[in-house]
Amino acid sequence: MSNLDKILNNKWLIALTYFIVGAVTLLSIYVFIAGGDFIAILDTLY
Amino acid sequence: MKAYISENKQLVLAYGCCLLLFAIQFFPFVLRHDVYIRIHDTLEGEWIWFSSIVDYGVALDTDMNTIIPSFLGGIPRFLFPSGLSFTVLFIYLFGTIGGYLVSSFVVHLIGFVGAYGLFKKYVFTDENEKHWAILIASLFSIIPFFITFGASVAGQPLLLLAFLNVLNKRTNYWEYFAIIAFPFYANIVWSAAFVNLMLVGVFLYSYQKQNAGIRFLLLLGIMDMLYLAVNYHLVYATFLADLPLQRDEYQLTINEVPGFLKSIGETFYILFIGSFHVGTFVTLPIFVLGCFNLRNKAVKYLMILALGIALLNGFYLFLVPILEKIHPLIISFNIKRVKILLPIIWMGILAYSIKDMYSFSKGRNLSYFVVFALIVSTLFANDEIVNNYRNMLGFQRKPDAHQFFASDTFEQIGNFIGREKSDYRIAHLGLNPTISQYNHFLTIDGLQAMYPLEHKNLMKTIMEEEMAKDYELVRYFDAWGNRCYLFSAELGKENRAFMISKDQDVTIQSWAVDTRLLNEHGVDYILSTVVIENAENLDLNMEAIFKNKDDFWKIYLYKIESNE
């Protein structure tokens, strides 16, 4: 089993990836609806 | 291998997705009159530099003594960008706003064509993978590129494809045109050195192909010569002109104090968001895929490069004292601009990762999900797309280009003053001087990348008492000074201090600028978006208020009462 195969068969890792990617996408849509600027908001985080 | 949908359907869907993305992106441009164009560093400055050299008929002027009168008391033409560019051609043909829209379309189209060609020919070589080249190229094409820099970022895949074809002896003639045309549509300061770095890296990696190597190096040399020829004004300003500039006194470490935690934050920001000069988009999903595919050498090296560039940007301030000791020009050159390579690096990581994962059914689902998510988040993170749709749907947040420039109002102001515009100058408080510059008024202030140091010192003397109220202003202006504006300690130095809308009704209690000195340098009027409470003490008389329904601004016209 290759390294990539092992990763893709790790349910938790894949679920976490779906969660992170989905959360970022939903956040960008939310910021649009809320009237903000996605990049500007992230800009203030650091 | 079991396919969920046939190859043909995949291709049709990918092309459909590409067309839909272009339609989403450019449909608001059809509206033309109400279009929103990025203000920061674009309408408030750099795009108007291009537009002004066209308006004053000096785009192709070779006389180094020519002065453009409307900026900062009048500054030499050689301190403005070159006229030998597609950007200037578009402005000449379609006007300031029309030129921007055309240039934006062309830049994104070049991005798509180049990325599609590159990934189709060198990554997704199997016919059943072709739709991935389309999808990733579509994603690349919707990155909010900084249009002022032309195809500096969007053109990189096309340029790389052209050079790779030369190296692999697979040329088709268009490659020579792309290589020769690139310097005419790219910013030399931001792109030349780093594009060279990328291409030299490719050359060294493929060094064994001797015969093609000579042609590769020859074309690279021609491209670099063209860069210098196109930007002869900049070459003159940097190496030949005997004119001290404000850049000579940059003190970046004074303006921004290096800090470890801040540097970590900056590193993450550049890594996962990027920079608006380059094209901001959320790269975290690509980073995750890249981590899954580190066994792939190409992915590993590209990830190291991305991380290295982010670290260089994050910790740059720690390097400044060392670089200053080597040569002050390095500071002016600003090596952290290497981040201009990040979008193509991220697209490379994404393409190679998906190629590896596509052979696994679970990887296939994840690949589609990540690319779809990236397309959505990139669309929603594109300020021009977002604000154009907000405007169309009636939820306006930022002024469109016509509201920003308020040309009708400025015509009224000119008529009210009733003098030849060349007879007097204007200074600004609470709004961007570029608006007056666009409307052909002569100004004393403005945003410039290069202007005489003498003028910076003059403005410093004019604002000395006001800046003494807030050390942040002193530090900001002294250390950098590209925003050569009239500051107010009460308004601060942030961009919003120069974007005060008619709905805000701001009053400043005490402003302390030397209006006598302003007047001695030809300034008869101050345009302000705020009420100046102590106007009388400054010998300022409010002559009129201009407020039009469609404008973003409410402008108070103050006249400096002359002692004569």
Query: Helix, strand or coil for residue B381?
Result: coil
Entry field: residues in chain A? 46
The confidence score (pLDDT) of residue B361 equals 84
Q: Are strands B425-429 and B446-447 parallel, antiparallel or unpaired?
A: unpaired
Query: Which residues from chain A sit within 8 angstroms of residue B276, using beta carbons?
Result: 39
Length of chain B: 564
Strand B540-547 vs strand B523-528: parallel, antiparallel, or unpaired?
unpaired
Contact A43 B273 (CB under 8 A): yes
- The pTM is what? 0.93
CA distance B284 to B195: 24
The distance of B1 to chain A (nearest Cα, Å) reads 16
Contact between residue B435 and residue B533 where contact means Cβ atoms under 8 Å apart: no
- Strand-pair partners of B483: B447
Q: Is B505 left (phi over 0), alpha (psi -120 to 50) or beta?
A: left
Q: What is the DSSP letter of B529?
A: S
Find, among B307, B309, B299, B280, the residue nearest to B349 by Cα.
Answer: B299
Closest-approach residue (CA) in chain A for B272? A42
Task: Name the nearest CA neighbour of B498 among B44, B36, B34.
Answer: B44
Residues 394-413 of B with CB under 8 A from A: 395, 397
The CA distance from B271 to B282, in Å, is: 9
Mutate to test the interface with B, among A9, A38, A41 (most CBs of B within 10 A): A38
CA distance B454 to B503: 37
- How sure is the predictor about A46, in pLDDT bands with cuts at 50, 70 and 90? very low
| Closest Cβ–Cβ partner in B363, B373, B390 for A22 | B373
8 A C-beta contact, residue B191 and residue B211: no
ipTM comes to 0.85
Test B373 with A31 for CB contact under 8 angstroms.
no
Distance from CA of B363 to the nearest CA of A (A): 6
Going by the DSSP 8-state scheme, the letter that residue B495 receives in this structure is G
Alpha-carbon Rg of chain B, whole angstroms? 25
Contact B273 A4 (CB under 8 A): no
Q: Which of A4, A22, A45 sits opposite B360 (nearest CB)?
A: A4
- The minimal CB distance from B284 to the residues A24, A31, A32 is found for A24
Distance in Å, alpha carbon of B505 to nearest chain A alpha carbon: 22
B362 touches chain A (CB under 8 A): yes
Q: Quick check: helix, strand or coil at residue B483?
A: strand
Give contacts of B390 with chain A, Cβ < 8 Å.
35
Is A24 touching B (CB cutoff 8 A)? Answer: yes
Cα(B182)–Cα(B167) distance, rounded to whole angstroms?
A: 18
Consecutive 10-residue averages of pLDDT for chain B (564 residues): 68 94 90 83 93 95 94 95 96 96 97 97 92 97 95 98 92 94 96 95 78 87 97 94 90 76 92 88 93 94 97 92 81 87 97 92 91 93 88 86 94 96 96 95 96 96 95 90 95 90 94 96 96 95 93 95 71
Closest chain A residue to B377, measured at CA: A25
